[in-house]
Structure 1
Amino acid sequence: MQSIFDRIEYLIEQKGITKKSFCEQLNISSGHFGDWKRKKSTPGTHHLIRIAEFFHVSLDWLILGKSTVDGVREEGEAYFSAQMRQLSCQSEELLPKEQEFIKEYIAFTRYRRQKQDEENS
C-alpha cells in the first residue's frame, strides 16, 4: 500500500464497513474523503489520530506504512522507549516540554474516551 489513503481504504475493507459509514462514524465529510482519494490533500493530524484509534493501528503504520519499532509496545506509555524515555517514532530527542505535552495529550485522550464510554453506557 503506497499512500495513507490506500491504508485507510484497506482498513475500511478489513472492518467490513462502507466508506459512507466510516465517514459518518468519524465525522469526516465526504468532500475531505474524496480529496484524500484524489490526492488533493491528506488527512490532518486530528483525523489521523482518530482513524488510528478507530482501527487500533499505530500512527507509524497509518502514515508511513511501517510496522512498530522494536521495543515499543502499543498500549499506555507504549509510544515511549523504555530505555530512552523519548518518543520512539521520532529520530531526534524531544525536549522535556514536548514530552510533557505528549503525555498530557495521551492522558486527555484517555479521559475523553472514558467520558464517551460512560455516555454510551
Structure 2
Amino acid sequence: MKTIGDRIKFLRKKNKLTQQQLSAGTKVNRGNISDYENNKFKPSSEAVFRIAKYFNVSTEWLITGKEDRINSCNPQELDPDVKILLKVYNNLNKEHKKLLLQEAKDFLLQEKYDIF
C-alpha cells in the first residue's frame, strides 16, 4: 500500500465497512473519504487522527505505512500462543474486536488480575 488513501481503503474493506459507515463512525465527510481512497487529495491532520483512532492504528502507520517502532515487536520473539491470538484478533472486524477485548477484561477482573 503506497498511499494513505490505499491504507484507508484497506482498513475500511478489512472491516467490511461502506464509506458511509466509516463517515458516520469518524465524522469525516463521505465524499472526502472517497477522495482520499482515490488519491485525489490527502486528509487533514484532524481526519487522519479520527480515522486512525477509529481503526485503532497509529497515525504514523496511516500516514507513512511504517509502524511505530516503540509499539511494534519482532514476531519471532512472541510465544506461539500469542501469535495465534494476534492472528485471530487481526482477522476480526471492529465490533468483534470490541467484544473479545471486553470478554478478556471481564475474565481478568473476575480472576483478580491487576493489569488495568
- TM-score range normalised by the length of the shorter chain: 0.5 to 0.7
Number of equivalenced pairs: 72
Q: State the Cα distance separating 1:73 from its structure 2 match.
A: 3.6
Query: How much has 1:50 moved relative to structure 2?
Result: 0.8
Runs of 4+ in 1 over 4 A off after TM superposition: none
Where does the alignment leave 5 or more consecutive residues of structure 1 unmatched?
Answer: 75-121
Query: 1:16 is matched with which residue?
Result: 16
Find the counterpart in structure 2 of residue 36 from structure 1. 36
Q: Displacement of 1:30 after TM fit? A: 2.5
- Residue 67 (1) aligns with residue 63 (2): no
Check 1:73–1:38 CA distance in 2 against 1; reply closer, same or farther (3 A cut). Answer: closer
Q: Which has the higher contact order (CA 8 A, sep 6+)?
A: 2
Q: Quick check: 1:4 aligned with 2:7?
A: no
TM-score for both structures, normalised by structure 1: 0.53
CA distance in 1, matches of 2:20, 2:34: 11
Give RMSD over aligned pairs.
1.7
Q: Which residue of 2 aligns with 1:58?
A: 58
Give identity over the alignment, percent: 31
**Which segments of 5 or more consecutive residues in structure 2 lack a partner in the other structure?**
73-116
Q: TM-score, normalised by structure 2?
A: 0.55
Structure 2: how far apart are the matches of 1:35 and 1:51? 14
